[in-house]
Amino acid sequence: MTLRNLVLMMMPLALVAAQEQKPAAEAKKEEAKKEESAPAGEKTWSGWVEAGARWRSDVAGSMDAYRSIVNLTGGFRLPSMDVSYQGAHKLLKTMRLTSGNWGDPFNTARLELSDEKYYRYASRYSNLLYYNFLPSFANPAAPAGYSLRSYDMNMRNFDHELTLLPNERFTPYLRVTRNWAGGRGITPLVVQGNEYALRTDLDWRQQDVVGGVRMNFTRSHLTIEHGSTDFGDGQRIFNTEPMRGSRGNVPVLGQLLSLTNGNQLYDVDGSSRITKVLFTAHPYDWVDLYGQVLYANPKTFSNFNQALAGSLYSTAPGLLFYSSGKDTVYGDARRPHTTGSFGMELRPVSRLRVREYYETDRQKTDTAGAFEAAFLKNTELAATIRNSYVDRLETSVHRQTVEALYDFSRKFTLRGGYRYEWGNALIRAGSLSITGPQERLEMQRHIGLAGFVARPWQKLTLNGSAEVSNGVKTYYRTSLQDYYRMKLNGRYEIRQDLLMTVVYNRMENKNPASGVDLEFKSQNTSVGLQYMPGGGKWVTVIADYNRSAIQSDIGYLILFPYQQAQSLYRDIAHTGMLLADITLPGSGVFKPKLTFGGSYVTTDGSRPSRFYQPHGKLSLPLHRNVHVFSEWRTYGYNQPSIFSYETFRTNMVMTGVRFVL
Amino acid sequence: MPWTRFTQTKSEYLGGGLREKVFPCSAVSREIRMIRLSRSAAMVTLAVFFVPAWLSAQESQLPKGYIGSESCAACHDEVNTSFQKNPHNKLTTTKWRGMQERACESCHGPGAKHAETNEAGDILNPAKMAAGAADKMCLSCHRNSRTNVGAIQNGHARSAVSCTSCHTVHKTGQESSDVQFRTAAGVNKKCASCHTNVWASFQKPHRHRVPEGAMACTNCHNPHGSILARNIRTANAAEPGCFACHSDKRGPFVFEHAPVRTEPCSTCHEPHGSANPRMLTRHQVANQCLECHSNIVSPTPAGIAGGVPPALHDMRQPKYRNCTMCHQKVHGSNVNRGLLR
């Protein structure tokens, strides 16, 4: 038999074998394909959309306080949405869109698209209305007296990040972040001897464009990121009618003051380069290395123009009454800012971990500016002031920490360590004079660290930590000096369906140096219970109580009239929170759900206040895919003290439908 | 007839790549063709019969003590089904971590003994492991991520809060931490379950919009660690995360208010919530300012800034207790050294 014949004989056998192999391989491929596209039993679209309408009762009390604290309004709303898509499209395997509180003054949305073989895209959006008109914190004479800055503006953030996944070693990404805030408000225009509350238009914005690449190696990782920031801050203050200002009809040297025309334009533009280098490494099983360097060099160019007309006076060029004035200021500031850290974890034996890390933060601000003020009587120039200045601010902070963690057993870990913090700063000090001296400050603290984690039995976990500082030098009177801080967390599973958590924090900071005499204490105790019989299938109750107390004493000197004074601050807050979730009896999916709870906060001390926000919600399934719900909320705030004019109370009801996909 | 037609290279003859020797074609061409055909057929046969067998032998060559995910699925079918939708399932196919076909054992360790005895104690359970050991295991893969660069300074790591305290691995759908953490409410709920005291602060009237779900704890904190204290995120590279939204406070300003650069924002503001408007740490802004601008020049041994500008005003007049009416630019000014405008 020739070789050829032998081969020809074996061919059919090979073909049969190949046929036998083929269906198995194909079936496997098809199965994988099916799984990839839509896992068995999983819908392509899933999630829900909630829509409804809210009715709000009239706000009893201060509408400004209500808008500053709660600010919910009535009307059509999209309270929440969470829609997911899982499919087999060539470039879109998963999509998720979530959003919350559409129609309310603070709403958010998030969109994620991905195909884990090629890319991942996430986009976030938030829009928060910021309304603040609560003058009491600054002006003891409010509301009869004069007010201060107030705001009615929107703050919007957009964030987009696209990550490409070409392979597992290199992951390039691009991120664009845009932050914008704009709106209006009131700003007091302060002119010598008088203040005028003027309308303000505000507009600030910032945009970051950053690209980077993550490099993954078997035992290390490196991320390099570079990009730029552009930002601007614009503010315009203006009046539309003649004003007497806070002085009213009280004359200055026999002359009434007024403002007939005021315009202030404040424009700041800036840019910055951003660089980040991050790395981690695991060269051996007993050592991990971490490091990062972050660098930015923001620069700003500012331009300020003010034009005033009316009956005004100034003492700056000597006592002068003038009818119009113009100020022009140019400024230039730059601040290179470098932050870095390097750390390692060593595991010389299996139970011991030694961590050592160093952090540094350095920034230097160099600035220059020029100022010109012109005072006119009618149309004639009466006086001019010109000035130019340069300034510098330097700060650097460093921290070196070494810490050891030892596992005595699987149930008990003890840690201890030492941290040394030091830094210095160069600041302009001494007086309000532009040419005042510069002062070099130093900061030095030695801090002892300790902590433990105990799990004496599986149902109980205790976690404690403490740090004690011996401050040698510090920057400011109220800064941390000789302090200790301790924290204790406990979790105890009383029964399988009942969990208790306890948190206790305490901190004291003292600076006994003569002329300072700072004493600060804060304490926080929190107890929480979580009851979930049957894994929370029917009932879930979460209840928390918290007591926090702050006490701060520090002396100061009042020059006019000359007297010693003490700044005492006391704040004792009790907070109760409850969340109950009850599934009522029903058949199949038609089980109504009742949710109720809320919180009550009462504070005593320097600013007594009560704030409560109870709520309840009933959800009724009408169909597998349609649920109706009705929600009730009450908000109440009062300050039983001199600030009682800043109180409010309101009720609201919302009814809507949840469509389940 | 071209000369090349009558030649075959040795390398062609042997299937190699080198031109070494020339053979005359005419005499042996038939035989050579026959041999080549036979050899190809033999190769096909070998491939068809033996390569799959060899490959399957290779697949089953698991390291000692390992049994492979398929064996795990035989008992833990429910876990295995949900695991198919889990990002960790990628380990089953990827060569990157060298754990092909034994994704389960990449976290739970070798399962041969457990398969033999059926005892829970014979296999690793990261949820019940000591925090340090669990973290070490998770970080053996996840260390290489940019969010974990600050892991060593992380308070969670120091306090032995392991990865598994927050992250679920087997759960899917709405129960999965991966899904929950995509919404602010999901993140906040998880953080609040331990940080109950912080959550209580958020019930105070003046706070960031966290309870409303407009912000998540992770907007400001990186729970995996940060270069800044309290796991505060950074913005614009090296700045504290507060400036990501409050970009008008970032500067640099021609006239800086030095404490804004040297002290944390929490010196004057309680970011989690306060009974005082604007989340201040004091009930009146005058106290806030006068505690530093105290008119007391501290003696040198106190080691503090001696030249803090004094408060020269007549504090009996309410308008002078309203410091921020005139000193409007307390975070820094480009126009006035006294931070007036």
- Give me the residue from A106, A188, A413 closest to B160, CB to CB: A413
Residues 6+ apart with CB under 8 A from B303: A442, A444, A471, A472, A473, A474, A513
Residues 6+ apart with CB under 8 A from A585: A591
Which of A107, A138, A516 lies closest to B323 in CB terms? A138
Given a cut of 50, is residue A656 above it in pLDDT? Answer: yes
Does B52 touch chain A if contact means CB atoms closer than 8 Å? yes
- pLDDT higher than threshold 70 for residue B130: yes
**CA of B36, closest CA in chain A: separation in Å?**
10
The pLDDT, as a whole number, for residue A25 is: 46
| Amino acid at the residue A190 | V
CB-CB under 8 Å, B247 with A353: no
Alpha-carbon distance A535 to nearest alpha carbon in chain B (angstroms):
13
Distance from CA of B7 to the nearest CA of A (A): 24
Higher pLDDT, A413 or B50: A413
Q: Touching check for B159 and chain A: CB below 8 Å? A: yes
B211 preceded by a cis bond (ω within 30 of 0)? no
Asked if residue A446 lies in contact with residue A418, where contact means CB atoms within 8 angstroms, the answer is: yes
pLDDT value, residue A89: 79
**CA quadruple A513, A516, A519, A520: dihedral positive or negative?**
negative
Nearest to A195 among B153, B195, B325 (CB): B325
C-alpha dihedral (B192, B196, B200, B202), degrees to nearest 10: -30
Cβ-Cβ contacts under 8 Å, B254 against chain A: 302, 331-333, 367-369, 391
**Does residue B144 belong to the interface with chain A, where contact is any CB pair within 8 Å?**
yes
pLDDT, position B173: 74
DSSP state letter for A336: -
Picking from A188, A335, A472, the nearest residue to B252 by CB comes out as A335
| Lookup: tokens for B337 | 């050294």
Summarize pLDDT for A296-339 with one digit per residue, the tens. 999 999 999 999 999 998 888 788 899 999 999 999 999 999 99
Q: What percent of chain A has pLDDT over 90?
A: 66
Query: What DSSP element (H or E) covers A119?
Result: strand A119-132
Q: What average pLDDT does range A43-66 have in this prediction? A: 92
The model's confidence at residue A127, banded by pLDDT at 50, 70 and 90, is: very high
Q: Which of B143, B263, B301 sits opposite A280 (nearest CB)?
A: B143
- Classify the phi-psi angles of A658: left when phi > 0, otherwise alpha if psi is within -120 to 50, otherwise beta: beta
Residues 61-80 of B with CB under 8 A from A: none
State the greatest distance between any 2 C-alpha atoms of chain A, in Å, as a whole number: 134
**Any CB–CB contact under 8 A between B51 and chain A?**
no
Please tell me which of the candidates B49, B254, B304 has its beta carbon nearest to residue A477: B304
Name residue A655's beta-bridge partners: A53, A630
Neighboring chain A residues of B298 at a CB cutoff of 8 Å: 477, 513-516
The long-range contacts involving B152-155, CB below 8 angstroms and separated by at least 24 positions, are B152/A288, B152/A290, B152/A343, B152/A344, B152/A345, B152/A355, B152/A357, B152/B225, B153/A341, B153/A343, B153/A357, B153/A359, B153/A401, B153/B225, B153/B226, B153/B227, B154/B223, B154/B224, B154/B225, B154/B226, B154/B231, B155/B230, B155/B231
B121 touches A: beta carbon within 8 Å: no
Asked if A108 lies within 8 A of B184 by C-beta distance, the reply is yes
Which of A11, A101, A290, A372 to mutate against chain B (most B CBs within 10 Å)? A290
B36 part of contact set with chain A, CB < 8 Å? no
Contact B46/A at CB under 8 A:
no
Residue B227, min C-alpha distance to chain A (Å): 7
Q: Residue A446: which of A399, A396, A505 has the closest Cα?
A: A399
On average, the pLDDT of chain A sits at 88
Torsions phi, psi for A397 (to 5 deg): -130, 140
The Cβ-side half-sphere exposure at B130, using a 13 Å CA radius, reads 21
DSSP string, B150-212: TGGG-HHHHTT--HHHH--SS--GGGSHHHHTTSHHHHHHHHHHH-HHHHHHTTSSB--STTT
pLDDT (tens digit, 9 = 90+) per residue, A200-214?
999 999 999 999 999
What is the reported pLDDT for A399?
A: 95
CA distance B212 to B220: 16
Tens digit of each residue's pLDDT (9 = 90 or more) over A385-403: 998 988 899 999 999 999 9
The closest of A464, A470, A568 to A521, measured between CA atoms, is: A568
* Three-class SS of B239-283: EEHHHHCCHHHCCCCCEECHHHHHCCHHHCECCCCECCHHHECCC
Taking residues A523-530, report their average pLDDT. Answer: 96
B223 Cα to chain A: minimum distance (Å): 16
Highest mean pLDDT pick, A219-228, A250-259, A434-443: A219-228
Name the residue with tokens 């003046």: B206
**Highest mean pLDDT of the ranges A84-93, A628-637, B172-181, B278-287:** A628-637
Out of A294, A432, A524, name the one closest to residue B338 (CB).
A432
Chain B's closest residue to A19, CA to CA, is B48
Rounded-to-integer distance, Cα B208 and Cα B184, Å:
13
DSSP assignment of B198-214: HHHHTTSSB--STTTTS
What gap in Å lies between CA A355 and CA A344, rounded to an integer? 6
Among B200, B263, B276, beta carbon nearest to A546: B200
pLDDT tens for each residue of B139-177: 888 877 777 788 877 888 888 888 888 988 887 777 788
Cβ atoms of residues B324 and B330 within 8 Å: yes
pLDDT in tens, B242-277: 998 998 999 899 999 999 999 999 999 999 999 999
Closest chain A residue to B153 measured between Cα atoms? A357
Give the nearest partner residue to B149 out of A35, A290, A391, using CB atoms: A290
Nearest C-alpha of chain B: how many angstroms from A410?
A: 5
3-class DSSP assignment, residue A161:
strand
Tell me, what's the pLDDT at B25?
45
Chain B: closest CA distance from residue A496 (Å): 16
Residue B29: the pLDDT is 57
Number of neighbouring beta carbons within 10 Å of residue B53 = 9
**A-chain residues within 8 Å CB-CB of B139?**
288
Distance CA A431, CA A439 (A): 11
User: How far from chain centre, in Å, is Cα A325?
Assistant: 41
Task: For residues A216 and A282, give the distance between their C-alpha atoms in angstroms, rounded to a whole number.
Answer: 12
Note the ipTM here: 0.89
Which of chain A's residues have a Cβ under 8 Å away from the Cβ of B318? Answer: 139-141, 145
CB distance A271 to A230 below 8 Å: yes
In this prediction, residue A375 has a pLDDT band, given cuts at 50, 70 and 90, of very high
- Span A363-378, average pLDDT: 93
Copy the structure tokens of residue A341.
């850290």
**Residue A17, pLDDT score:** 43
- Strands in A192-257 per DSSP E: 194-216, 220-238
Q: Give Cβ neighbours of residue A532 (< 8 Å, ≥ 6 apart).
A: A497, A498, A499, A539, A540, A541
Residue B15 Cα distances to A112, B28, B39, angstroms? 53, 17, 11
Q: Are A279 and A221 in contact (CB under 8 A)?
A: yes
| Interatomic CA distance for residues B150 and B228, integer angstroms | 9
> Would you state the pLDDT for residue A144?
58
B 278-307 residues inside an 8 A Cβ radius of A: 278, 280-287, 290-299, 301-307
Cα distance between residue B272 and residue B188, in whole Å: 12
* Confidence band of A38 (pLDDT split at 50, 70, 90): very low
| Element at A257 (helix H, strand E) | none
Q: Which two tokens stand for residue A309?
A: 């007309």
pLDDT value at A167 more than 60: yes
Q: What is the mean pLDDT of chain B?
A: 79
Q: H/E/C letters for each residue in A130-152?
A: EEECCHHHCCCCCCCCCCCCEEE
pLDDT at B85 over 60: yes
B255–chain A Cβ distance below 8 A for any pair: yes
Q: Does B127 touch chain A (CB under 8 A)?
A: no
